[in-house]
With several copies, the nearest count.
Chain A
């Protein structure tokens, strides 16, 4: 079997969770790679939507931003940003909102706003962007991030995007009728919320990952499913698809840079 990195495993495991008929609101970074691997393997008809307004996009290389030209070039249609948030997200047409996180707690609440106090932050992060409403208007939310004690914490500093709050029926009590986070895919494991408490529970370890590795890179006491499985290793096709995508992406981003430099000198 070809060797692979934990990050590759994460992306591929995430891609497998997506179905051919999903309508997926794609966050940039790891979610974007996973969604496009899904599209290039088992889910060719998946609808990928980026918050720049591109609907049903099929980029040949991964975009650096949520608004790269490639996304518009290959989209079924491109709409304005107000329309994107009103008709497509708030309108309830998104089956999966796919988010990354800077800080995450065990109930799937996400912080991408500040580390420390909001008024006097230790670190000012970019903020929510589309995430607060992706988290509540999408029918389900998938989260993907590499594990670390800084990232997976007992208590997040700021609720940028609401997951299951304090767990249990907290969403329902706030009048939120969507399912919220139903899947977390890290570089070590697949996690699902406990049906009652909504606490994320490890249901599958990636090949080579151990319970100890998962616990060591997580800031809360990890619960493991009694029926713990092993994530199937990436197939040759999955791995080749992901790597080719990355190669094309790197080449494209560098080509632009080189071209721009040439242009400057000529100019």
Chain B
């Protein structure tokens, strides 16, 4: 049952050293504030799960928090590579990183299977692809009716999932809209879940009945962190800070510059700092009206 907590407490109560953890958000609604809080609290030996690791996992891996990465696209979307992830995979810096690599179809199906309480996902994939050769968690499975060989991957079942969403109501139900990505599945697949939101509203009474809503009893904790998705965006609240993604490419390219940036912008910062970071991006928020 959702408890409203300050972010530091929500993270401390729900994340543990050694956890399998997913910080999800498919380009949109990336839970940056929650990731930064986890960095400040200095967790270790995490298995980081995410379709598109993106800046926040580049940061967590660069800070030495991860022992394993489960992913399907380790890029800075539209910009290029993730340089801290590369340094870990290519040079073992700051520590060796085990990887379990999939395609998006497999990861999406694996989250879906996790949400659906199944041990594995079955789909048509990896045909002719080398990932099936290097990842032992990709196995063939045969349709008992047609004999067609399909692919199976284990369900993703995180210990805890973090997401960012637009709104909670006072009861603790959470609304996600726009590019909804994989967040619903990531929360339902996890044992625990923490949601940062832009704001809390009285109720969802006037909203459309088919919106993506996570009932309060599927959520462990909610923290209000306006701007908590920056430099990603929140549909209806503020635009994506594309320049920050371009800039990250330079910051992460250099170990020292990375460390200095993290010290200044994460270690010495607070969840409350996110609001100011998106102030200038609010005018560019998506045009299409949402509920």
Q: Could you tell me the distance in whole angstroms from the C-beta of A128 to the nearest C-beta in chain B? A: 5
Interface positions of A from 134 to 172, Cβ below 8 Å from B: 136-137, 158-162, 165, 170-171
Query: In the complex, which residues 92-148 of chain B have their Cβ closer than 8 Å to any Cβ of chain A?
Result: 101, 103-105, 108-109, 111-112, 115-118, 123-131, 134, 148
Cβ–Cβ contact B128 & A165, under 8 A: yes
| 8 A Cβ contacts from A73-114 to B | 73-82, 84-87, 89-93, 113
Q: Is A87's CB under 8 angstroms from B115's CB? A: yes
Question: Are A130 and B279 within 8 A (Cβ)?
Answer: no
Docked-complex contact A91 and B117, CB < 8 angstroms: yes
Q: Does A213 contact B (CB under 8 A)?
A: no
Which B-chain residue is minimally distant from A118 (CB atoms)?
B134
| Chain A residues closer than 8 Å to B105, beta-carbon distance | 85, 89-90, 130, 132-133
Would B242 and A253 count as touching, CB distance under 8 A?
Answer: yes
Answer yes or no: B23 CB below 8 A from chain A CBs. no
Report whether B240 and A64 are in contact in the complex, using a CB–CB cutoff of 8 Å.
yes
> For the complex, is B235 an interface residue (Cβ under 8 Å from A)?
yes
On chain B, the residues within 8 Å of A53 by CB distance are: 26, 179-181
* A129 in contact with B73 (CB, 8 Å): yes
Asked whether B239 lies within 8 Å of A136 as measured between CB atoms, the reply is no
| Complex interface: chain A residues within 8 A of B218 (CB) | 93
CA distance A165 to B129 in the complex (A): 10
Partner of B242, one of A124, A161, A257: A257
Nearest-neighbor residue (CB-CB) of A67 within chain B: B27
- 8 A Cβ contacts from A52-70 to B: 52-56, 63-70
Interface string of B131-170 (1 = CB under 8 A from A): 1001000000000000011000000000000000000000
In the assembled complex, B219 has its CB within 8 A of some CB on chain A: no
A21 to B89, CA, bound (A): 43
Count of A residues near B, CB < 8 Å? 83
Would you call B77 an interface residue if the criterion is a C-beta within 8 Å of the partner chain's C-beta atoms?
yes
Q: Is the CB of B286 within 8 A of A69?
A: yes
Residues of A within 8 A of B212 (CB): 77, 80
Q: Is A186 an interface residue (CB 8 A)?
A: no
Report the minimum CB–CB distance from A147 to chain B (whole Å): 20
Tell me, yes or no, whether B19 is within 8 Å of chain A by CB.
Answer: no
* Contact residues in A for B18 (Cβ distance below 8 Å): none
Contact assessment for B240 and A256 in the assembled complex, using a CB-CB cutoff below 8 Å: yes
Report how far A81 CA is from B1 CA in the complex, Å: 24
Q: Which residues of chain B are within 8 angstroms of A29 by Cβ–Cβ distance?
A: 78
Q: Once the chains bind, are B276 and A160 in contact (CB under 8 Å)?
A: no
Say yes or no for B42: interface residue by CB 8 A criterion: no
Instruction: Find chain A residues with CB under 8 A from B89 CB.
Output: 121, 124
A186-216 interface (Cβ within 8 A of B): none
Chain B positions 169-194 with a Cβ under 8 Å from a chain A Cβ: 173, 178-182, 184-185, 188
Q: Using Cβ atoms and an 8 Å threshold, which residues of chain A touch B72?
A: 127-129
Assess A80 versus B79: contact at CB under 8 Å? Given A121-B89, A160-B129. no
- Of A66, A176, A260, the most chain B CB neighbours within 10 A belong to A260
The CA-CA distance from A129 to B27 in the complex, in Å, is 13
> Which residues of the partner chain B approach A76 to less than 8 Å between Cβ atoms?
173, 204, 213, 215
A159 engages B128 (CB within 8 Å): yes
Question: Residues of A contacting B291 with CB < 8 Å?
Answer: none
Contacts of A226 in B (CB 8 A): none
Check A71 for interface membership: any CB of B closer than 8 A: yes
The residue that B127 contacts in the complex, of A21, A123, A176, with Cβ under 8 A, is A176
Question: Which A residue's beta carbon lies closest to that of B209?
Answer: A78
Complex CA gap A128/B107 in Å reads 12
> Can you sample 13 A-B contacts with CB below 8 Å?
A54-B179, A66-B77, A68-B242, A72-B286, A76-B173, A90-B116, A90-B118, A113-B101, A137-B124, A159-B128, A257-B241, A259-B239, A267-B273
Binding site for A on B (CB under 8 A): 1, 26-28, 51-52, 71-75, 77-79, 81-82, 85-86, 89-90, 101, 103-105, 108-109, 111-112, 115-118, 123-131, 134, 148-149, 173, 178-182, 184-185, 188, 204, 209-213, 215, 217-218, 231, 233, 235, 239-246, 273, 275-281, 283-288
Shortest 9 CB-CB distances between A and B: which pairs? A267-B276, A67-B27, A257-B243, A263-B280, A162-B128, A126-B75, A65-B77, A263-B279, A259-B280
**A-B contacts besides A91-B115, A127-B75, A257-B244, 7 pairs, CB < 8 Å:** A28-B78, A53-B181, A65-B240, A72-B235, A76-B213, A132-B125, A256-B240
